Structures are given as structure tokens and as C-alpha cells.
């Protein structure tokens, strides 16, 4: 109960803060729309309305992933620049439980991109959103946010030793767009790519959203989101334990 | 890609070192890996939509990605000066601005050409695209011309960065526009007419077309017209950028805004 | 029983130099520091920049593991039981950083109240009380980016006290504050001891340590060079008098010559706006003013005065003696 409360308050706090920062620079908001526009042009040339909605959903989730990948990798560095990292580590709370809601908040901002892209597709390209399983669709979005947040958490923990963690996080933007089937079905890739797609939770989050919108069975996808998300978090906790110990011992991770 | 978005927009604006990003930890993810994945992304989108061939996307994206090093590096060389409070010293020096800024533009151009060429080659290898052997020298010329004209745009952008605080946002937006308007991924003919008009006055559009023609086996003599246009557009942006710098310099002296952050 | 105990704490930093042939350089920041702080005491760790104050405090608040030696806070070992220690201590650092600028002071406190496990029911009242204590009442809903330096520092103090800790560590809390702000903050610190808190304060301001601390340890180059009450430290040097002479440009040789005079205990020169102030501490039983002025013959001499030694003199003598 206490843990949930800690996560909830942390999420709310950081969400509020990122909301205020993200809109200071319009880039975050309009950037994914350029990619969505190109995708719409390309798929429109195919001239099948179903493909266009497929692309619209994919482009919408692309923006969500951007919001996570471009910020989560450097989540800890950001605290360090602000001078808050030390204050956070000095609290009795488990540091992983402090960091996890930060990256989930970053992924949550992505809902804005999702909505903006769907609207953009509707207004400029006349792509109507049809939802076959409304309830599951609504459930798929927070599930995707949570799994993105969990993967972002793993990034944040693993990239912390790199000064240019932001560049590493950005580097994962395109590859995930590509191999998680946001715009291209996985069957187009060589067989060896598929296992990589499967262990990346965005694949399943994308699937869940798409299946619940276009019709299909999103439940197995949601279960995979849950399983992989939990695995990322567990792994992140383990790495974090060792990291903080090393930081205190060797002053390797400068806290200030 | 938006490799530099977080860096500039996300609160790290204070990092002032010129060419700081030339360090391998930034260079490799942002200027080696990202353009290759941009090529792959659109090539696969094209494959799944059953549209253009791979070579279409390799040429389009490899050349278009030159915009990232051009836009960011050029604005860095100018705004970096401002951050270090050396801009003023340079502007008041009697040195002629033309060689000064063009001198700064040369390494940027060289780097952009390298980024394009490398991702071009890597894209071809990964996707199994084979080019006519005779097209290689011509393509090298195209890449150089594209890097030149894009650097011209970069200089204009850099001049504007004297006025716009969030220059990184602007650079990203320009990159996004180029992605749509230069025909990197969508044939110009499929864009609405007003967009086509814009395309023709942007850098890279003609270079991308020239590269595609060469890759399709046309002789170099057939693309010289396109290259001349591209070169002309580059010169126009370069001149525009220098003129803007002059205007802003003058206004800056008048209103003492040059060193303001 | 002592609330904070440090036994022979040592801390070595390893830094790497060179990119291809990496050489490891070891820096001994703290070399065997021991002290004990009793309940309710305000203990000062006084020393110049780079003396090892912050390293010492970071070992005590569990952010750094000592290379050697042990320390415990309220009976909990700082290496083995960091969580238990963190629950019971507050940590306040100086400087403007370390607050979430885009959110209000209230939001900042609310967040940290949660991280410190303050029960939800008492959070609100506790925050109100602290806002009152540090004088931020009325400004708490403004974004902290608009706060002055002093306000941010007072917010740090409030944050450090959210969970009503028994022990508070204050690391140079008044650094960079204007005199008024610093005085207000010192007044706040003063009220903490009357509330029964045990406090460890680091500072490089002598007068601050003198005004606030029950006991002071002077740390220099990673070692404690003196320890005692402010009065005791003063008495170490009280056996004498200080002659201050305003001078304009004094050659180093002259300072050396003064140092070798019979009865002179220490000599130091401080830069003031237009002049320098030469301070010569002498034994009480000698009268050297004439001799000092004699040595200054040729220099431009301004005001001459005599005074009792202060804590500052003790400090300078101790740190110089190293």
C-alpha cells in the first residue's frame, strides 16, 4: 500500500513537472507529426483505408515511444544536473521506486502524441478511428504506457554510466519504431529479427492497441505486456542495487 | 532524427562547448546508427506498402539526413560563439565576414558529406541494393553538392539562431519539413501542388532527384542541370544567411542584444 | 551515549588520468577523522574549502562508504544499515541547486514527505509548520524558479526536517547567501537546537561556527587539527594580543622578518579593498608595536590597532600551522 502510494505520488509529481517542461519547447509536440505525415503519404499511395488506419495507429504509438526513448535514458543524469539526485538517494525510500514513476510519467506524456497524431490523421487525411473493442482499447493505452515506462526505466538504469545517455536513448527511437511492427508487419523482417521484436514490450503494446481497434484478440498481447514489463522492472531493480552500492563505494557515480 | 532534441530542448542548453557532440559517444549513435535506421525504417515502410524500391529510400534518406549535422553544427558554431561571449569580439573585428563564416562552414560540409556517404553505402549493403558501377563518382559529386547547399541552409538557420532562443526546436522542425518536402520518402509528384512549389526552392530536393537518376543508370551529363539548380539554391541560402547575419549584427549593435541569452 | 560517532574515518578517491595509458591517482580526502556528538549538541566542522568537510558528512549520511574506519548514527552503522540511518537523519546542503524548479515549494515538500515516509495524515500539518519555521509561508505555491537564493536554501532546510529527524546534517547551509539571508538562516538553525535536535554543521565561516556551535572541530587537509568549545579554541590563542596594521603593499621578506621576531606567534596578511591588513599575534608579555612598525619602515602605513584574539585568529593559526 505504501509502495503504491509512493509510486502514485512520484508519478503525479514528475508528470506535472514534465507537462510544464514539454510544452515550453514545441518540438516535443510537433516532431512526431512529421513522421506521421510521411507515413500517411506513403500509405495513402496504397489507397486502402484499412492500411491507413493501421498506419495511423502505428504513427500514434511512434510518438508515444519517442516521448519515452528520448527522455528516459537520461532520467538519472537529469536529476544529477538539477542537483536533486543526492537528495533523492539520501531518503530512506528505495531508489528504484523513486525512479520508476519518473520514466512512467515520461511515457504518460506520450498519450498526448497519440491523441495528436490520431487527430492529425483525421483532420488532414480523413482517417477515421474505429474501435472494435472500446473497453480493451482504453485498457491497452495505459498498459502500453506502463510497459514503455518499464523499458524506459531499464534504459535509465543501464545508461547511467554514459555521459551522453540522451544520445543512446535517442538511438533506440528508430529501431523500436522499425522492428516492433509500428508501421511494418513483423513478417517483413528476416527471421532472426523476430525474437528481438518479441522481447521488446512495445511490440505487444502496439499489437494490443491495434487488435482492440481493428478487431482481434488483444488479451494475449496485454498479458505479454505485463510479463515483459515486470521482467524489465525486476532487472532494473537488480542493476540499480549494484549501481548504488558501487556509487557509494567507489564514488564512481558522482551523485552531484 | 531528433537526436539533438533532448540535448537542447530538454534542459541541457547550458552545455556550451563547440563541437562537443563530435565525441564518439554522441557521434556514433546520432550520425552513424540513426541515419542507417532511418533508411531501413522507410525502406521497410515502402516494402510493406508495396511501393517504391529500396534504392528510392536509400538515396532519399541518406542525402536528407545530411540536414542533421548541417543544421545543428552550423547553429552551434554561431550560437556557441555567443555562449562563450566571443561572438562580439569576432563581429567587431575588421575581418571580412565572408571567409570567416564560410571557413567555419567547410568542416561542417565535409562532415555532412561523410554522414551521407557512409549511410548511403551502409544502406546499400544492408538492403542488398546494387548500383551501376559507373554511377559512383557521380553520386559522390551529388553528395558533395547536397552537403554544400544544406550547409547554406544551415548558415541561414544559424543566423536566425542569433534571434531565436530555442534554436534546437527550429532545427528539428526544419529537419521534419525536409523529410516531407524534399521527396526523400514521398515522390514530389504525389504531394499537393502548393507543397511541390515549396519543394523546388528547398535544398536537397534536386540533389535527391539527381542521385536517383544516377542510381537508375543515367549518365552524369543528364543530371548536370539538376546539380546546377541545387548549387544555385545552396548559394542563395548561403548569401541569405550572410545577409541575415549582417542585419542581425547591425541590429544587435544598435540594441545590444547580441550577447543576450 | 553519543548520537553520532566517527572512528578513524578515511576516504580515498581514485581518479584516472590519461586516455590510452590510464594512470590511477589516489587522493586521500579524509585521513582518519574521529569525533563524537552528544544528544542535543550543535557540533561544527570548520575548515577551508577542500579540507574534507563534505566528504566526511557524506560518509555519515550514507552517500559514501568510508575506505576505512567506522561511523554510526543513533547506534546504526552507516555502512551496514543505511536505511535505518536515513530514516532518522535530515540532510541539508547549501546552494541553489537541488530543487525542482518548475514546481512550487509546496509540491517539492510534498514529494519529499512521501519519500521520507511521513504518514499521509500528518504531511499537511507538518509542511505548514515547516513553512512557518523557515519563513516561506505565503510563497509556497509559487514555482521555485522564482525563489531567491535564500528562499531556496530555506526550502532545503524545510525539506531536511520533514520527517522530524533526530539528527540534522547541515552542509554549508549559508554558502553564497547575502548577510541578511545568512543571519535569518542562522536564526532558524538556532531554533532547531532548542527543539532538541542534534546537529552537525559544516562551514568555513569562523563567526558562524562561533555564533552557533557548542563544540567545534577544525579540519584541515583531511585531519582534525583541533577540537573544543569556541571558548577553548579561543583560549589556545588567547594568551596573547593581536596587532593589526593597515599597510599598502608589503613585501614578503618583511612578513618573514616579522615572523622571526622574538615573541611573535603568527603573522598573516589579508587583502582589503585598497589596502592590506597585517595581523601579528604576539605573546601577552611582550610589547612589539614599535618593533613591528620599525620593520615596516619604508612601507606606507595606515591605521594601527590592538585587539584580543578571536576564533578567527585561532582558526588561521591552526590551519596555517599545518
Q: Given C91, C97, C114, which is nearest A82 (Cβ)?
A: C97
* C interface test, pick of A8, A12, A81, A90 with most C CB neighbours within 10 Å: A90
Contact B1 A170 (CB under 8 A): yes
Number of Cβ within 10 Å of residue C134's Cβ equals 20
Least confident of A22-26, A218-222, B191-195, C89-93: A22-26
Residues of chain B positioned with their CB less than 8 A from the CB of A167: 3, 7, 25-26, 29-30
Check A82 against C110: CB less than 8 A apart.
no
Range of the domain at A58: 2-250
Q: Over 50: is that where the pLDDT of B4 sits?
A: no
Q: How far apart, in whole angstroms, are the C-alpha atoms of residue A133 and residue A141? A: 13
Residue A256 maps to a domain:
no
Q: Which residue has the cell 554510466?
A: A161
Q: Which domain holds residue B71?
A: 22-255
Q: Is the pLDDT of residue C191 over 50?
A: yes
Query: What distance in Å separates residue A255's CA from the closest CA in chain C?
Result: 8
Number of A:C CB contacts under 8 A?
A: 77
Question: What pTM value is reported for the model?
Answer: 0.85
Instruction: Write down the pLDDT at residue B19.
Output: 47
Number of compact structural domains in chain B: 1
Strands C264-271 and C215-220, by their bridges, are unpaired
| Residues contacting residue C170 through CB under 8 Å, at least 6 positions apart | C92, C157, C160, C189, C199, C200, C201, C202
Looking at chain C, the whole-number percentage of residues with pLDDT higher than 90 is: 47
Tell me the chain B residues in contact with residue A177 when contact means C-beta distances shorter than 8 Å: 41
For chain C, how long is the longest CA-to-CA vector?
A: 74
Q: Which residue out of B4, B15, B37 would a mutagenesis test of the A interface target, given it has the greatest number of A Cβ atoms within 10 Å?
A: B37
Coil, strand or helix at A217: coil
**Half-sphere exposure of residue B32, counting CA atoms within 13 Å on the CB side?**
10
Is some CB atom of chain C closer than 8 A to the CB atom of A86? yes
Chain C CB contacts of A253 below 8 Å: none
Asked whether residue B79 carries a pLDDT value surpassing 80, the answer given is no
Grid cell at residue B117: 556517404
Q: Which pLDDT score is estimated for B18?
A: 40
Superfamily per CATH, domain C235-321: ACT domain (3.30.70.260)
CA quadruple C184, C186, C192, C193: dihedral, nearest 10 = -140
Q: What is the ipTM of this complex?
A: 0.90
Q: Residue A182 domain-assigned?
A: yes
Interface contact flag, C63 A98, Cβ < 8 Å: no
CB contacts of A25 in chain B (<8 Å) are 9-10, 166, 168-169
C11 to chain A, closest Cα gap in Å: 10
Q: Is B187 helix (H, G, I), strand (E, B) or coil?
A: coil
Q: Is C74 exposed, middle or buried (0-12, 13-18, 19+ CB in 10 A)?
A: buried
Grid cell in block for residue A175: 529501431
* Phi-psi sector, C223: left (phi>0), alpha (psi -120 to 50), beta: beta
Nearest to B21 by CA among B11, B37, B32: B32
The answer as to whether A255 is a domain residue is no
Over range B96-107, report the average pLDDT. 70
Taking the C-alpha atoms of residue A105 and residue C117, their distance in angstroms, rounded to an integer, is 21
Domain limits of chain C?
A: 4-228, 235-321
Give the span between the Cα atoms of C131 and C137, in whole angstroms.
5
Grid cell in block for residue C197: 535536535
Sign (positive or negative) of CA dihedral A113, A117, A123, A127:
negative
Q: How many CA atoms lie within 13 A of B237 on its CB side?
A: 27
B76, B47, B41, B90: which is closest to B62 by C-alpha?
B41
Homologous superfamily (CATH) for C4-228:
P-loop containing nucleotide triphosphate hydrolases (3.40.50.300)
Contact C98 A20 (CB under 8 A): no
Decide if B3 touches A, using CB distance below 8 A. yes
Domain count, chain A: 1
Which among A6, A89, A250 has CB closest to C114?
A: A6
Residue C206 has pLDDT above 90, yes or no: no
Rounded Cα gap, residues C34 and C56, in angstroms? 10
DSSP states of B10-72: TT-TT---TTGGGSHHHHIIIIIIHHHHHHHHHHHHHHHHT-S-HHHHHHHHHHHTTHHHHHH
B7 pLDDT band, cuts 50/70/90, is very low
Q: B261 is written with which cell numbers?
A: 541569452
Per-residue pLDDT of chain A in tens (256 residues, 90 and over written 9): 789 999 999 999 999 988 887 655 456 667 888 999 999 998 888 766 668 899 999 999 998 998 898 888 888 888 888 889 989 999 999 999 999 999 999 999 889 889 999 999 999 999 999 899 999 999 999 999 999 999 999 999 998 878 778 888 888 999 999 999 999 999 999 999 999 999 999 999 999 999 999 988 999 999 999 999 999 999 999 999 888 888 888 775 555 5
Average pLDDT of span B106-124: 93
All residues of chain A having their beta carbon less than 8 Å from the beta carbon of residue C114 are: 5-6, 9-10, 93
Asked if C102 lies within 8 A of A20 by C-beta distance, the reply is yes
- C26-73 pLDDT, tens digit each: 888 999 999 999 999 999 999 888 889 999 999 999 999 999 999 999
| pLDDT tier at B148, thresholds 50, 70, 90 | very high
Chain B: closest CA distance from residue A2 (Å): 31
Asked if A25 reaches chain C (Cβ–Cβ under 8 Å), the answer is: no
The tens digit of pLDDT for each residue in B202-250 reads: 999 999 999 999 999 999 999 999 999 999 999 999 999 888 887 877 7
Amino acid at each position: 500500500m505504501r509502495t503504491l502510494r509512493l509510486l502514485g505520488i512520484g508519478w503525479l509529481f514528475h508528470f506535472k513537472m514534465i507537462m510544464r517542461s514539454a510544452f515550453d519547447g514545441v518540438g516535443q509536440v510537433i516532431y512526431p507529426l512529421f513522421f506521421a505525415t510521411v507515413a500517411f503519404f506513403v500509405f495513402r499511395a496504397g489507397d486502402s483505408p484499412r492500411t491507413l488506419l493501421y498506419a495511423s495507429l502505428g504513427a500514434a504509438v511512434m510518438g508515444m515511444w519517442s516521448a519515452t526513448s528520448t527522455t528516459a535514458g537520461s532520467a538519472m543524469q537529469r536529476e544529477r544536473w538539477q542537483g536533486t539526485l543526492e537528495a533523492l538517494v539520501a531518503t530512506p525510500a528505495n531508489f528504484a521506486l523513486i525512479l520508476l514513476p519518473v520514466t512512467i510519467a515520461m511515457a504518460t506524456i506520450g498519450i498526448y502524441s497519440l491523441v495528436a497524431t490520431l487527430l492529425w490523421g483525421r483532420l488532414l487525411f480523413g482517417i477515421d478511428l474505429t474501435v472494435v473493442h472500446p473497453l480493451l482499447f482504453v485498457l491497452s493505452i495505459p498498459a502500453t504506457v506502463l510497459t514503455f515506462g518499464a523499458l524506459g526505466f531499464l534504459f535509465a538504469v543501464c545508461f547511467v554510466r554514459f555521459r551522453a545517455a540522451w544520445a543512446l536513448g535517442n538511438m533506440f527511437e528508430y529501431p523500436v519504431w522499425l522492428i516492433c511492427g509500428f508501421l511494418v508487419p513483423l513478417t517483413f523482417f528476416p527471421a532472426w529479427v523476430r525474437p528481438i521484436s518479441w522481447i521488446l514490450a512495445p511490440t505487444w503494446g502496439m499489437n494490443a492497441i491495434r487488435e482492440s481497434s481493428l478487431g482481434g484478440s488483444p488479451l494475449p498481447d496485454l498479458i505479454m505486456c505485463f510479463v515483459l514489463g515486470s521482467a524489465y522492472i525486476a532487472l532494473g531493480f537488480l542493476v540499480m542495487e549494484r549501481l548504488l552500492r558501487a556509487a557509494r563505494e567507489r564514488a564512481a557515480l558522482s551523485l552531484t | 532524427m531528433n537526436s539533438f532534441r533532448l540535448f537542447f530542448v530538454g534542459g541541457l542548453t547550458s552545455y556550451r562547448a563547440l563541437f562537443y557532440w563530435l565525441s564518439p559517444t554522441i557521434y556514433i549513435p546520432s550520425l552513424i546508427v540513426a541515419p542507417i535506421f532511418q533508411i531501413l525504417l522507410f525502406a521497410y515502410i515502402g516494402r510493406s506498402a508495396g511501393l517504391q524500391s529500396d534504392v528510392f529510400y536509400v538515396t532519399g534518406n541518406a542525402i536528407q539526413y545530411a540536414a542533421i549535422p548541417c543544421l545543428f553544427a552550423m547553429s552551434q558554431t554561431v550560437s556557441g560563439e555567443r555562449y562563450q561571449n566571443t561572438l562580439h569580439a569576432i563581429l567587431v573585428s575588421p575581418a571580412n565576414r565572408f571567409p570567416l563564416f564560410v571557413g567555419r562552414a567547410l568542416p561542417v560540409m565535409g562532415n555532412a558529406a561523410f554522414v551521407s556517404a557512409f549511410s548511403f553505402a551502409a544502406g546499400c549493403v544492408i538492403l542488398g541494393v546494387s548500383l551501376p558501377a559507373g554511377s559512383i563518382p557521380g553520386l559522390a559529386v551529388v553528395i558533395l553538392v547536397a552537403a554544400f547547399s544544406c550547409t547554406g541552409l544551415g548558415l541561414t538557420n544559424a543566423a536566425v539562431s542569433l534571434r531565436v532562443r530555442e534554436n534546437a526546436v527550429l532545427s528539428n522542425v526544419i529537419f521534419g519539413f525536409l523529410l516531407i518536402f524534399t521527396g526523400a520518402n514521398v515522390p514530389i509528384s504525389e504531394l499537393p501542388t502548393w507543397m511541390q512549389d515549396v519543394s523546388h526552392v528547398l535544398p536537397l530536393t534536386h540533389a535527391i532527384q539527381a542521385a536517383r537518376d544516377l542510381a537508375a543508370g543515367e549518365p552524369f551529363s543528364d543530371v548536370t542541370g539538376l546539380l546546377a539548380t541545387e548549387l544555385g539554391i545552396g548559394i542563395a541560402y548561403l548569401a541569405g544567411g550572410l545577409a541575415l547575419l549582417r542585419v542581425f549584427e547591425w541590429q544587435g549593435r544598435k540594441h545590444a542584444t547580441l550577447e543576450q541569452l | 551515549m553519543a548520537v553520532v560517532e566517527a572512528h578513524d574515518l578515511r576516504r580515498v578517491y581514485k581518479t584516472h588520468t590519461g586516455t590510452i595509458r590510464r594512470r590511477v591517482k589516489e587522493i586521500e580526502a579524509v585521513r582518519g577523522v574521529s569525533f563524537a556528538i552528544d544528544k542535543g549538541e550543535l557540533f561544527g566542522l570548520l575548515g577551508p574549502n577542500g579540507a574534507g568537510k563534505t566528504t566526511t558528512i557524506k560518509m555519515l549520511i550514507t552517500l559514501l562508504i568510508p575506505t576505512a574506519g567506522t561511523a554510526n548514527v543513533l547506534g546504526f552503522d552507516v555502512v551496514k544499515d543505511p536505511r535505518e540511518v536515513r530514516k532518522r537523519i535530515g540532510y541539508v546542503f547549501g546552494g541553489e541547486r537541488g530543487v525542482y524548479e518548475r514546481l512550487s515549494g509546496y509540491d517539492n515538500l510534498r514529494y519529499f514527505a512521501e519519500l521520507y515516509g511521513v504518514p499521509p495524515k500528518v504531511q499537511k500539518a507538518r509542511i505548514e509548520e515547516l513553512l512557518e519555521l523557515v519563513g516561506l509561508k505565503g510563497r509556497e505555491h509559487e514555482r521555485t524558479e522564482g525563489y531567491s537564493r535564500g528562499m531556496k536554501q530555506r526550502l532545503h532546510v524545510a525539506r531536511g526536517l520533514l520527517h522530524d529527524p533526530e539528527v540534522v546534517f547541515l552542509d554549508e547551509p549559508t554558502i553564497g547567501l547575502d548577510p541578511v539571508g545568512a543571519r535569518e538562516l542562522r536564526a532558524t538553525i538556532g531554533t532547531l537546537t532548542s527543539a532538541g535536535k542534534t546537529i552537525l554543521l559544516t562551514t568555513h565561516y569562523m563567526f558562524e561556527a562561533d555564533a552557533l556551535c557548542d563544540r567545534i572541530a577544525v579540519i584541515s587537509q583531511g585531519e582534525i587539527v583541533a577540537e573544543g568549545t569556541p571558548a577553548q579554541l579561543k583560549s589556545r590563542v588567547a594568551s596573547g594580543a593581536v596587532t593589526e596594521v593597515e599597510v599598502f603593499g608589503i613585501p614578503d621578506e618583511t612578513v618573514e622578518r616579522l615572523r622571526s621576531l622574538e615573541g611573535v606567534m603568527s603573522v598573516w596578511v589579508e587583502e582589503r579593498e585598497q589596502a592590506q591588513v597585517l595581523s601579528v599575534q604576539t605573546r601577552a608579555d611582550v610589547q612589539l608595536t614599535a618593533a613591528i612598525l620599525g620593520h615596516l619602515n619604508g612601507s606606507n602605513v595606515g591605521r594601527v590597532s590592538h585587539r584580543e584574539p578571536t576564533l578567527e585568529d585561532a582558526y588561521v593559526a591552526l590551519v596555517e600551522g599545518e
